[in-house]
Amino acid sequence: MKRSLILAAALLAAFQFGCSEKPQETPSGSSSFTKETCTVCSENSQSVNGITTIAPTPESKPALTPELNPAPAPESKPAPAPESKPAPAPESKPALTPESKPALTPELNPAPTPESKPAPAPESKPAPAPESKPAPAPESKPAPAPESKPAPAPESKPAPAPESKPAPAPESKPAPAPESKPAPAPESKPAPAPESKPAAEVKPAVATGLTGDKFSSDKDSVQRVIELVKKLDGKYVLSASGDLTLINIDGAALTVEGFDLIVKQTELETLQVANFRGLNDAAFTKITGLKKLKTLAITNAIITDASVALIAKSFPLLRNLDLSRNALLTDDALSSVGKLKELESLLVNYCTFSEFGLMSIEKMPKLRTLDIRGNVKIDGSGLGVVAKISSLRALKHRSEMVDDNAISELAAAKNLEIFDMQDFAITDAAGEELKKLPKLSQLIIFRCLNFGSQGLLALKGKALTRLTLRDLPSLDDTGMEAFRELTALKRLYLHELNSVTDVGMMNLVYLKNLETLDIWSMSEITDKSIESIAKLQNLKNISIRSTKITDKSIDLLLSLPKLQELTLKDNASITKEAKTKLKEAKKIKTLILN
């Protein structure tokens, strides 16, 4: 039926246009048309599989050519293309687009579609490709819309349609999914984590008692400090109100946390911390809260001049300061110390100060004690600076740079009472210079190898109350005669004098006021020396170590009426029986034996 209708339409068209085509019988018995010469439609008609189609003229339907005739598309491009872009394009959009697609497509391409598809497919792809590529070329998402408007509607619509629809789908659906779901997840989960960590960091502080700033009134805090001091084998003092006022520890095992807890005891008046190698300038800044501090000793730490400046600023009323063995300090530290106008005692032994640093402290009005032992740069000139400290009463120094001339410089120290000399390169001539010190009452001479008997004899008649002679190889029995005129002595220490024998010790009988006698490492001392010592009726404290005395000396020592303390060690000839006898004696309060 459908075929008959098509045949009738073809005959009607031929009649109207005057075509001379006649139906002829095909070998299969079906009718077909053959193309004959026609002046009207010779260029517009053709026979395809027995069906003659009449192509529309350029004036009737130019826009349908690309869709209805895929094969002739290449022939229509050169002519209609330039004409359709400027003029027909605007007319075809409103009229042809809606009418051509729904009506003509089903009627003109019925059964022959299987045979017509292979032909147009390869030819139509290359043709639209060049036209569609420039349009979608910026196939970037915003490009298709503006480029499709000027192009012919039939060609531009099919291309962007499939491209525009899937494009938003992948972009809109996956985009929100990864951005919305994962984003909150990582941000919300780790956020609580950092907030909970600080809470955990507070735990160590609570464990050590660092729960506030006013710990002096906190009994728990005081108890924690006491336990810490005991653990470090230190000393402490509690006031009547239960506050810690003194702490003295060896900080070799101390931690920064422990130090922080100690310096929170705001009632402290004395703080002595030795060998805390973790104490630097940063840790030291926490000490400033100890407003009642009068005595401070920070020794063998790693503080610098900055910490000393902080001490001078924070504790203007400080009286005693010990900065010994802080190797990082320079002369600038002494400049800060010079500002402590109430300071009475300064210990800076085994530092690196020079005479220039001493110039910063020469005008300190109340400085009475100065220990500069081990500051090897301080020579005679340095002692000349020290001599200008009018308030100075006690001086300790150890250096091989000090000679007889340096002692001459020191002779200007009119108020010096105590002088401790160690490792000086002095000779016997120094004895005469020492005698010039008008108020000298206590003299310690240690390991001054060239100072001997003549130097000691030069001191005869000096009102010395204490004398220590140690490791002086040049001192022998002759020098011991000086004791005949040193009768004011109350304390005498004789150490490592291997050239002195019992003969020299006999001169001790002149020391009627002697109360303390300490003899150590004198290999030539025997019971004969003890016979002389037993005549000193005012002796209270005796120490005899590393000598040749025997049990015979025990009864002599027990005969001393005022003897209270006795130390006998490393005297190989004393037996256990003699030691037992001493233990049974009730008159000796303190007995030390080995």
| Confidence (pLDDT) at 151 | 40
Q: Which residues contact 509 (CB under 8 A, 6 or more apart)?
A: 532, 535, 536
- Three-state SS string over 357-423 comes to HHCCCCCCCCCCEEECCCCCCCCHHHHHHHCCCCCCCEEEEECCCCCHHHHHHHCCCCCCCEEEEEC
Bridge partners (DSSP) listed for residue 31: 25
The reply to whether 558 falls in a domain is yes
pTM, entire model: 0.64
Query: What is the domain range of residue 44?
Result: 2-127
Q: Which of 78, 107, 127 is a domain's end point?
A: 127
Task: Identify the CA nearest to 274 among candidates 253, 243, 295.
Answer: 253
Task: Identify the CA nearest to 323 among candidates 309, 313, 314, 388.
Answer: 309
| Confidence (pLDDT) at 1 | 53
Q: Check the CA dihedral 260-262-266-268 and report its sign.
A: negative
The reply to whether 250 falls in a domain is no
* φ, ψ for residue 271, nearest 5 deg: -135, 120
Task: Identify the CA nearest to 432 among candidates 407, 415, 413, 449.
Answer: 407
The reply to whether 14 falls in a domain is yes
The reply to whether 286 falls in a domain is no
What's the farthest any 2 CA atoms get from each other in the chain?
A: 174
Strands 45-48 and 51-54: antiparallel
Spatial distance between the Cα atoms of 237 and 247, rounded to a whole number of angstroms: 7
The reply to whether 287 falls in a domain is no
Q: Which of 127, 159, 194 is a domain's end point?
A: 127
Q: Which residues contact 48 (CB under 8 A, 6 or more apart)?
A: 112
The reply to whether 573 falls in a domain is yes
CA 128 to each of CA 159, 165, 419: distance values in angstroms, whole numbers, following the listed order: 9, 20, 115
Rounded mean pLDDT for each run of 10 residues along the chain, 594 residues in total: 58 50 42 40 42 42 39 42 43 40 38 40 41 41 42 41 41 42 44 44 36 50 95 96 96 96 96 97 96 97 98 97 98 97 97 96 97 94 95 97 94 95 97 96 97 98 98 97 98 97 98 98 97 97 98 96 96 95 90 94
| Confidence (pLDDT) at 192 | 47
| Confidence (pLDDT) at 219 | 74
Residue whose tokens read 């339409």: 9
Q: Which two tokens stand for residue 425?
A: 């390169």
Spatial distance between the Cα atoms of 412 and 407, rounded to a whole number of angstroms: 9
For the chain, the domain total comes to 2
CATH code, domain with 533: 3.80.10.10
| Confidence (pLDDT) at 590 | 95
The reply to whether 541 falls in a domain is yes
Residue whose tokens read 């924070």: 314
Strands 345-347 and 466-470: unpaired
Q: Which of 127, 156, 184 is a domain's end point?
A: 127
| Confidence (pLDDT) at 79 | 42
Question: Is residue 483 within 8 Å of residue 461, measured between CB atoms?
Answer: no
| Confidence (pLDDT) at 380 | 87
What's the count of helices (H) and strands (E) in the chain, helices before strands? 29, 20
| Confidence (pLDDT) at 175 | 40
Question: Is residue 380 within 8 Å of residue 404, measured between CB atoms?
Answer: no
Q: Which two tokens stand for residue 471?
A: 């490791």
List of E strands, 307-441: 320-322, 345-347, 369-371, 394-398, 418-422
Other Cβ atoms less than 10 A from the Cβ of 179: the count is 10
The reply to whether 84 falls in a domain is yes
